[in-house]
Amino acid sequence: MTETQPAAPPETTIDETMDDLVDDLAFFDDWQDKYQQIIHMGRALPAFPEPWKTAEHEVHGCMARVWMKGRWQDDRLRLYATSNAIIVSGLIAMLLKVYDNRTAEEILSHPPTFIERIGMDSHFSQQRSTGLAAMKNAIFEIARQGPADGSQGMGTGSQAPGAGNREPGAEEVGRAE
C-alpha cells in the first residue's frame, strides 16, 4: 500500500459544485434519463476497500447497504463510500462531489440544497429520501466531530483495518468498480 499525497482543495466552492450538479441534471427532461445519469455517476465512484465494509462504517437508515468512511487530512474531510445498490451509489457520488475534501466549516454551513433544486425530494420514495438523509447526516456528523476530535464514530479514524497508519493507496481507493 502506498502513501497518498494530500489532495489540493477543490477548485470550486460547495455552492458552485451544487450549481453544477443541478445544471448537469437539468439537461434531462425525463426523470428516467436523470436516474440513468445518477447511476452513471455512481459507477464512477472509486473502489471502497473490502476491509472497510464493517458495522463501524455502515450507514443505518438506508434500505440498501451503505458504507462510509471519513478521515481528516490537513483539516479537510476525505470521504469514501459505497453501496450495494446502483442508484444509491449515484446519490453517494453526488454527496461526495459536494462534500469531499472540504473543511468542517464548509460542510456544516452548506446543507445539500441541490436535492430540492433538482427535484429529487419529490421524485424519490419515502425510503429513498430517508436513506439520502441518513447519508447526509453521516457526513455532517463526521464534520461536527471535526479533525481534532480523534473519534472513531462512522469511520472517522485515520487508519484502515489492518493498515497501520497508512492511508489507502491507489490500488485500494483510486480504481472504479
- pLDDT score for 177: 35
CB 170 within 8 Å of CB 2: yes
* Axis-axis angle for helices 31-43, 86-99 (nearest 10): 70
What CATH number does the domain containing 28 carry? 3.90.1010.10
Answer yes or no: pTM beyond 0.75. Answer: yes
- The dihedral through the CA atoms of 46, 48, 49, 50 has a sign that is negative
User: Is residue 79 in some structural domain?
Assistant: yes
Say if 113 falls within a structural domain.
yes
34 falls within a domain: yes
| Domain total of the chain | 1
- Whole-number pLDDT of residue 4: 55
Residue 176 lies inside a defined structural domain of this protein: no
104 part of a folded domain: yes
Confidence of residue 154 (pLDDT cuts 50, 70, 90): low
For the segment 45-65, what is each residue's pLDDT rounded down to a tens digit? 999 999 999 999 999 988 899
pLDDT at 163 over 70: no
Helix%, strand%, coil% for the chain, nearest 5: 50, 10, 40
Residue-number span of the structural domain to which 82 is assigned: 14-157
Residue 167 cell numbers, joined: 492511508
Residue 174 inside a domain? The answer is no
Q: In this predicted model, what pLDDT tens digit does every residue of 72-94 receive, in sequence order?
A: 999 999 999 999 999 999 999 99
Q: Is the pLDDT of residue 110 over 80?
A: yes
Burial label for 129, CB within 10 Å (0-12, 13-18, 19+), is middle
Task: Out of 27-41, 117-131, 138-152, 155-169, pick the least confident.
Answer: 155-169
Would residue 32 count as lying in a domain?
yes
For residue 19, being part of any structural domain is answered with yes
